[in-house]
Amino acid sequence: MYLIVGLGNPGKQYEATRHNMGFDTIDYLIEKYNIPQAGVKFNAMYGKGIIGGEKVILIKPLSFMNLSGGPVQEMASYFKVDPETELIVIYDDIDLEPGQLRIRKQGSAGGHNGIKDIIRRLGTEKFLRIKVGVGAKPKGWDLADHVLSRFVDSDRRLVDEAIEKAGDAVEKIVSQGADAAMNEYNRKKA
């Protein structure tokens, strides 16, 4: 069984912002695979279903981004999921251009406060991540203002494609393994 976590901030004012790439990808997976919502547990909305022939639990933490670790750790513990082999976290990355994906098996938080909190709560940096590129902050901008802003139309199209690719990468990970997904999705754009 896999626990698939999409990071974001709850509330209408944060919908379609750069920081909500994880939520948007979970929404895509829910729709594509007809995953029914099971309710709210440990301050996270969740649903159970099948992707790529494997049982999955999709979650969107309802805590704000910086406190994502609590719901993730509690859900992993409750459903007896091993974070190092059965957890996939999807989130925004300012170091990637809009539309780019990067899959990693482990690593530091790289300045992402949601990931930092998950690492702190789980006590490990070893868990799968799918990073969805949202572009670097413009010179002179505050980072929070950048990640809480919306995309210009040309970038939005690229990001919508990346959300679908991130969803497809989830299926590839659960059905064929992380290496197969990394080989397919970590390639540089031509």
What is the Cα–Cα distance from 82 to 80, expressed in whole angstroms? 7
Asked if 19 is an active-site residue, the reply is yes
Q: Which among 19, 60, 129, 165 is annotated as catalytic? A: 19
Q: Cite the beta strand spans of the chain per DSSP E.
A: 2-6, 37-41, 44-51, 54-61, 87-93, 101-104, 128-133
Reference 152, options 17, 12, 7; nearest CA is 17
Q: Are strands 2-6 and 87-93 parallel, antiparallel or unpaired?
A: parallel
Q: CA 22 to CA 78: how far, in whole Å?
A: 22
| Cβ atoms of residues 17 and 147 within 8 Å | yes
State which amino acid sits at residue 127: F
Task: Dig out the tokens for 79 from the structure.
Answer: 């459903």
Q: Which residues are marked as active site?
A: 19
